[in-house]
Chain A
């Protein structure tokens, strides 16, 4: 299985070429035939033992070919250099300078990506927890309907939703007017959330957009973990700790941590790589690394630099996920 996957990856990535490739292909073909043959002809026991691999093979091969191989290809690209401006396929030259450019010239974008994503994650937790809590514990027989209500806004297009926020956050739009009527504009200015009487094209708008768009990814796992909690347990805790907040802190919260963990990953990861919110709701001073990758890849044709940035983004996210998993004391990601 593993050998097969490696074989596919290497062919996909163009590691091997010419005769080696033919040999590799035939080896793979033979191994597939052998597997199928043993599966059909072998005894019941061998068939049992091989069954899971047979079931896994197509999906895993697909992921090897179109997930792993591309990563390798991108890694090669990140170390390539362009020979001329419109050179359409750069040469592999161990060009490490792509990484230093990515990290120096685009440091602000990287910083913003991680800061905005982190803030958005915290906000989704603050907004999503009460919602998930109420649905799980007070929803009664309307639970499914309430949960459906939460999901409904996300059945329209992601882009259209974000564009609608442009309307809502406009300088003369409903949100700003509401804040002004409530006399909240001055404190918000002081907190640097509003800038000169506006919300649109500020970091707050970008973070708000991220929070909105990834909210269901927080609510659903939270709900799943809260729903599993036995209400009788909460009642018992109430008797034990006498206050609701005590019961919540010592029983409900710890039991819902897996949901918090899963939810925050599901929000943080896509938010850190997003460029739609920054493009629609932000300004030139709020661009995130996704905007830069998109721009370098799809406009400037600088594939090596875009690849280097993608790789750094992925590396940072993977590391932080691992650290976070250790910190939360859970290794079960799903």
Chain B
């Protein structure tokens, strides 16, 4: 290899690294703004221009009850819908990855369809159905809508995670005398659990942040994104930036905890396999 080539390679390497760093900066630019303006001290009700530093907003993050309540509603919707969707989606994923059966191709396609339809189509069509059936839109309809898009999501991501799962393990347990139920709960379930947790956490996040589908089906229910949308027409108080920053730091904490847990588990697993 000539030196010209290797220096060109180094340059290319640097270029790619630099563009990755720029990409990260791009990703974080708005986050900086959000966190920064959570410390702003607006004189009037508009949190637009930097006026001065204060910790007051952080001292009273819940002083805007309409935002706090909307956040609680969002958490409730997400909790209920995630539990249901995880259950339904997990069953589908197990069926698809464990069994070969007639129509599995069709089921696959059917599962992907909601993911390849724009949210606005999902939202408006569901709202049309509710209108046609005379169903009053509210908490229930939002939960129904969220489960609808989460089921596909959980099923597809979980199926990808457990694609390589060795179902013979379960068979082995049964050969050793375990009942099918026991074999499932004692062998299979613990092994696919991390996948289930990951898929449900992600679908929880999707639910919390969903705006478009919820907008069409919420009726008088006000979720966090809907409250933000409504307030954005008037003025966004700095407390909202605080709540957003808290969401951010909270999820980072969960993520870090997950990473530590995962690495410990791996270490433990590799440790035990050595014996």
Contact = CB atoms under 8 A, between A and B. Distances in A.
Main secondary structure of the interface of A (DSSP, over half): helix
A49 B103 CA distance: 12
Given A307-B124, A321-B116, A160 B34 contact: yes
B9, B108, B132 — most chain A CB neighbours (10 Å): B132
A275 B216 CA distance: 13
B132 A66 contact: no
27 contacts: A2-B106, A14-B132, A51-B95, A55-B95, A62-B148, A70-B122, A77-B128, A130-B23, A131-B19, A131-B24, A152-B27, A153-B28, A153-B30, A155-B247, A155-B250, A157-B209, A157-B225, A160-B228, A160-B240, A215-B27, A269-B117, A273-B119, A298-B215, A303-B128, A317-B118, A321-B116, A333-B116
Given A55-B91, A158-B209, A298 B216 contact: yes
Interface in A130-151: 130-131, 133-135, 138, 144-145, 148-151
A56 B30 contact: no
Contacts of B250: 155
B202 to A, nearest CB: 10
A318 interface: yes
Which secondary structure characterizes the binding site on chain B?
Answer: helix
A27 interface: no
Taking each of A134, A151, A156, A280, which has the highest tally of chain B beta carbons within 10 Å of its own beta carbon? A156
A99 interface: no
Query: How many B residues are at the interface, by size bracket?
Result: 35 or more
Contacts, number: 250
B12 interface: yes
A148 B240 CA distance: 24
Interface stretch (A30-38, A161-169, A182-190, A192-200): A161-169
Interface residues of A, number: 88
Contacts of B106: 2
A297 B124 contact: yes
B95 A52 contact: yes
Max count, chain A CB within 10 A of own CB: residue among B48, B120, B129, B211: B120
B269 interface: no
A243 interface: yes
